[in-house]
Amino acid sequence: MIDFLWNLGSFIIALGILITAHEYGHFWVARRCGVKVERFSIGFGKAIWRKVGKDGTEYVIALIPLGGYVKMLDERVDEVPEELKEQAFNRKSVWQRIAIVAAGPLANFIFAIIALYFMYLIGVPSIKPVIDTTTENTPAELIQVQEPMQITSVGGKTVRNWEEVTYALVGHIGDPEIALTLRPMSQNSEVNDSTPLNLGKTYTLDTKNWQFDPDKESPITSLGLGIYRPAITPVLGLVSPDGAAAAAGIEVGDSLVSMNGEPYQSWDGFVEVIKSSANKPVELMVRRGGEQLKFIVTPHERKGAQGQVEGVIGIAPTQAAWPENMKLQLEYGFIESFAVAADKTWQLVDVSFKMIGKLISGDVSVKNLSGPISIAQGAGSSANYGLVYFLGFLALISVNLGIINLLPLPVLDGGHLLYYFVEVITGRPVPEKVQEIGFRFGAAMLLMLMSIALFNDFSRL
């Protein structure tokens, strides 16, 4: 319940910030074009707060925080007094109307740059993208790993951490091949935007048959790249209060010694036994202080990723510390942060447009669409990690909000822009009947996409 409330609260805060940025873009440009703004609303439905400003605009925070709007004076909607007609939206030139409509998505992109600017100014602790194995019968099997190797570029683009690797790989979904450049960690040197792209050895992976399910694995592991992680120790770092292990008396700091009389060998082997022992007693021997203690633990039952029944006892091990040469602090100065933030925003825009194209072409399944539930979970998780991660999440969602609004669906900003550009070309507005048909079609398409996204969200729960 606490997780639900945290996710919901983070979601409302994130959405409120992004909607405010988007609508303020429309509002600011409309005012500068001489359009009278009657209402600036964050949310829909009943107003829970309102105030009329000195400019005559009514500012509203409404009950349903799933959108917002800027209501402008418009003769097509309401009767407008003669003395105010020059302030009506429909009386403005087509280029002014284009500017007002485009300002919303543009504000989202600007907000993303600002959020990322502060993120990089504060500094983002990160880990270099290092692999230590590759898997047979996968695109990455041709990479021979003798020692930990750092990925320095994907498709000719320098990458510094796993997040950048992920975004780069996602942008290549559907491509017949992907070029990866790697170098041994023994040749360690700092990788940044000025690092030569040919640093290390380049491998061309055959990805004609590459597919992955984002609900079950990452694009990294689906390619067959084994992510380097510090060694897992048998010392328990977490014991869930409501788990089977806690009920049996096991505590944080206990060290695993044996299971069912067999000495502890590895965490993966331990997990496999627990998974196959749902509702079956398991004998665990642990070391606590200077003595060994025996416990009988009965793993609880849960559904696995494939719908299978598996056991879980609610514990997690500790890991050895990350080697210093694998740690990375993405932190820049006042001026440099802006350039890095702008470049990062452009990368997000580029990847997002590529993903839309791949959805249309069928290279990416509609099962990958996410809705408000997934966004709420992402908001809660990022806020839980700290401010810098929440800023990065806001930037990502802001870019996606801007791009979605640019889609040429008549109910979105992109649909209005489409009509106005037709007007620029033909010299006259699109007929009202045509616009009405377009709005109905756009609403149906948007409803369909939202339904798919919500269905995907519920199926992931």
User: What positions carry a catalytic annotation?
Assistant: 23
Q: What is the dihedral of CA 20, 26, 31, 32, to 10 degrees?
A: 120
Residue pair 20/27 in contact by the 8 Å Cβ criterion: no
Residue pair 157/191 in contact by the 8 Å Cβ criterion: no
Helices (H), 93-146: 94-122
Side-chain-side CA neighbours of residue 162 (13 Å): 17
Around Cβ 343, how many Cβ atoms within 10 Å? 13
Q: Give the list of residues 6+ apart from residue 240 with CB closer than 8 angstroms, or none.
A: 246, 314, 315
Site of tokens 């898997």: 135
Phi, psi of 172 (to 5 degrees): -105, 10
Q: Give the list of residues 6+ apart from residue 92 with CB closer than 8 angstroms, or none.
A: 33, 34, 35, 100
**Cα 300 to Cα 315: distance, rounded to the nearest angstrom:** 12
Token pair belonging to 172 = 């290549």
E strands in 276-389: 282-288, 291-297, 300-303, 309-312, 315-319, 327-330
**Cα 225 to Cα 159: distance, rounded to the nearest angstrom:** 15
